[in-house]
Chain A
Amino acid sequence: MKAKVGIIQFPGTNCEYDTQNAFAALGCETQILWHKEDTIPEGTDLLVVAGGFSYGDYLRSGAIAKMSPIMKAVKEYADNGGKVLGICNGFQVLTECGLLPGALKRNEGLHFISRHHYLKVASINNAFLNQCKVNDILNIPIAHHDGNFYIDAQGLSELYANDQVLLQYTDEQCNISNPNGSVDSIAGICNKTKNVFGLMPHPERAMESLLGSSDGRRMLEGFLSA
């Protein structure tokens, strides 16, 4: 049976169709869910909060989106163990609404960064990166202004203690290389119960080697094997 992937769309979301295309390429049934809906379709296997600029990033990235009707349903879905993935602006939305710890601040260098970046897989003990190996290097595009992951010292030690740090920015040789000032160069995390995932890089833009990298496939495929 085809896995069912729901993709959340706010006004200003702009990666929903790339995300849909990526999961369709992996053989999934996909559905775009407008933010005014207040239920998640029965039988949804994965919810993706797609990237973009929800509400023009007004106030703070992801802040206004968290007030949308669908986010209540997303929280319920996650609280019942449903798998949720936030990519880029989706990661910001998930931290804003408290489904993921920490916050995403303005990049340290204050510039919008749009380029390919290498990532190191830090943990595979989860439903997301189980097709990867620890210290695998993935080449994935980043495109963000507010990707500077912040968490206080206690929160950071809890992340490590619970194996919640999933991805870190590196160079091709696996040395830490921090583009945006994130604490410990963190690019992606999950929640304590390991069913909510967030990352700033865009795996859905790395599905074809013709377009620079197909490493995103290995990441997204994890959800389909669990």
Chain B
Amino acid sequence: MKAIVNVFLKNGVLDSQGKAVQHALSGHGFATVSDVRVGKQIIIEINETDAESAKTKVAQMCEDLLANTVIEDYEIEIQA
């Protein structure tokens, strides 16, 4: 089973990298770009058969290590 974890800075926490990328895109002529956020994706292979159980474990991994919940939010997608 595969877990896709997306980690992004929380809304309200300034994403300096996102802003820099946004400015670069705008400066490059992509005039319709109105916002960019930069985060990270973590792909985990996990030996579980039950998607709910896998999700619970990955959520614990996010709380313990993968995300810093002071500044970051995470989303988990489980793929069979």
Contacts and interface: CB of A to CB of B under 8 A. Distances in A.
A181 B68 CA distance: 19
A59 interface: yes
Nearest to A153: B12
B65 A63 contact: yes
Contact of A110 (B9, B16, B65): B16
Contacts of A109: 16
Contacts of B65: 59, 63-64, 66-67
A106 B70 contact: no
A63 B42 CA distance: 15
Contacts of B64: 67
A60 B17 contact: no
A60 B64 CA distance: 13
Interface string B1-32: 00000000100011011001000000000000
B68 A106 contact: no
Interface in A63-110: 63-64, 66-67, 95-96, 101-103, 105-110
A64 B66 CA distance: 9
Given A63-B65, A67-B65, A106 B16 contact: yes
A60 B9 CA distance: 12
Nearest to A98: B70
A16 B16 CA distance: 31
| Interface SS of chain A | loop
Interface string B43-80: 00000000000000000000011101011000000000
Interface residues of A, number: 21
A150 interface: yes
B16 A63 contact: no
B70 A103 contact: yes
B67 to A, nearest CB: 9
Contact of B70 (A148, A150, A181): A150
A105 B20 contact: no
Interface of A: 59-60, 63-64, 66-67, 95-96, 101-103, 105-110, 148, 150-151, 181
Given A63-B65, A63-B68, A181-B14, 4 more contacts: A105-B14, A106-B16, A108-B14, A150-B70
Interface of B: 9, 13-14, 16-17, 20, 64-66, 68, 70-71
26 contacts: A59-B65, A59-B66, A60-B68, A63-B65, A63-B68, A64-B65, A67-B64, A67-B65, A95-B70, A96-B68, A101-B70, A102-B70, A103-B68, A105-B9, A105-B13, A105-B71, A106-B16, A107-B16, A108-B14, A108-B16, A110-B16, A148-B16, A150-B13, A150-B70, A150-B71, A181-B14
